[in-house]
Amino acid sequence: MASNIVLVTGAAGFLGSHLCDALLSEGHQVVGVDNLSTGNLNNLAHLKSERRFFFEHTDITQSFDPGKVDYVFNFASPASPVDYLRLGIETLLVGSAGTLHTLEIAKKYGAGFLHASTSECYGDPLVHPQVESYWGNVNPIGPRSVYDEAKRFSEAAVSAYHRYHGVNTHLVRIFNTYGPRLQPNDGRLISNFMMQALRGEPLTIYGDGLQTRSFCYCSDLIDGILLLSKSDEHDPVNIGNPIEWTILECAKEVQSLVGVGSEIVFRPLPQDDPTRRRPDITRAQTLLGWAPKVSLREGLERSLEYFTACVEREKAHI
């Protein structure tokens, strides 16, 4: 992209804010919108005096018009299981009405469009590792369905705007991602384990800890997303780190990094918690020349300072 005006929804979120940084460093003007239901303005505080960045408090479930934009990145949604279970109806709305509203903006201004989809589209997958051609194994009425089905509806809507209106759309299926600016209390595995280890508390493992996930560091993910946004690819592309960890192995990695002898305690497994997850990234490799570079150890090291500051703020009751 030459220098453009780019709309980012969910700009105050973990990934949205990293995306804003990356777009600004590529020379674009960025209009960031967020309703701050799970986003946090602290994630954008460093952009206060950035003249090419504009923030608007906007709820995209209502029709809105940011003015002429050249590209739309649709990243607005509660994303951690704790948040989307708490905000179930809001999650359904942002992943349906919200996505349609942002697609209308792309259609109106002839803008490119990239939607943040998710590995949750595969549900509890029966195909392993997950390839993009797999349609998934999702419980449409279970607790996680507010997120999974909203994201699947969004994929249908994005595909339809490409098919019927010729919008230049892109779909990224994002696998578990971590790094600085994760909300410390979002209940996710990496945020929970880092916060617990740094507080000297036991690490909570849900179920037997043998379920798996594959963890991608945020800078790797943003690199892949930017490449996809500039490509001619309209079908979904997995972006994630294909190295698979059991939850127990991941707990041990966090313990060895933080270096304290915190215990491990076992808690009940949430309903419909996927038993395994690992991206097949062949399409990202061949279409985009992308592969992740940051190991889990290195990514956790890069996140340590951020989580340490979160624990210190907590202690000071800030």
Residue span binding ligand UDP (CB under 6 A) among the ranges 88-96, 102-110, 203-211, 224-232 = 203-211
The answer to whether 158 touches 99, Cβ cutoff 8 Å, is yes
- Asked if residue 189 binds ligand UDP (CB under 6 A), the reply is yes
How many angstroms separate the first and last alpha carbons of the chain? Answer: 41
Residue span binding ligand UDP (CB under 6 A) among the ranges 27-35, 61-69, 198-206, 293-301 = 198-206
Name the one residue in this structure whose structure tokens are 């918690």. 273
Q: How far is the CB of 132 from ligand UDP (least distance, A)?
A: 18
Interacting residue with ligand UDP among 111, 205, 237, 296 (CB under 6 A): 205
The answer to whether 30 touches 53, Cβ cutoff 8 Å, is yes
Q: Is 7 helix (H, G, I), strand (E, B) or coil?
A: strand
Given 147, 161, 178, 217, which residue is catalytic?
Answer: 147
Nearer to ligand UDP, 161 or 193 (CB): 193
User: Distance between CA atoms of 27 and 25, rounded to whole angstroms?
Assistant: 5
Instruction: Give the residue among 239, 242, 244 at the shortest CA–CA distance from 223.
Output: 239
User: Distance between CA atoms of 191 and 216, rounded to whole angstroms?
Assistant: 14
Element containing residue 182 per DSSP (H, E): none
Residue span binding ligand UDP (CB under 6 A) among the ranges 57-65, 102-110, 182-190, 288-296 = 182-190
Interacting residue with ligand UDP among 134, 153, 206, 306 (CB under 6 A): 206
The answer to whether 296 touches 249, Cβ cutoff 8 Å, is no
Residue span binding ligand UDP (CB under 6 A) among the ranges 24-32, 66-74, 150-158, 185-193 = 185-193
- Asked if residue 139 binds ligand UDP (CB under 6 A), the reply is no
- Asked if residue 211 binds ligand UDP (CB under 6 A), the reply is yes
Question: What would the x/- binding string for ligand UDP be over residues 268 to 287, using CB under 6 A?
Answer: --x--x--------------
Q: How far is the CB of 30 from ligand UDP (least distance, A)?
A: 27
DSSP-assigned letters across all residues of 210-271: --EEE-EEHHHHHHHHHHHHTSS--S-EEES---EEEHHHHHHHHHHHHTS---EEEEPPPT
Q: How far is the CB of 11 from ligand UDP (least distance, A)?
A: 22
Bridge partners for 71 per DSSP? 6, 112
- Asked if residue 248 binds ligand UDP (CB under 6 A), the reply is no
User: Distance between CA atoms of 117 and 284, rounded to whole angstroms?
Assistant: 15
- Asked if residue 152 binds ligand UDP (CB under 6 A), the reply is no
147 is catalytic: yes
**Which tokens in the block code for residue 134?**
């797999």
Which residues would be at the binding site for ligand UDP (CB under 6 A)? 80-81, 176, 187-189, 192, 204-206, 211, 213, 247, 270, 273
Residues catalogued as catalytic: 147
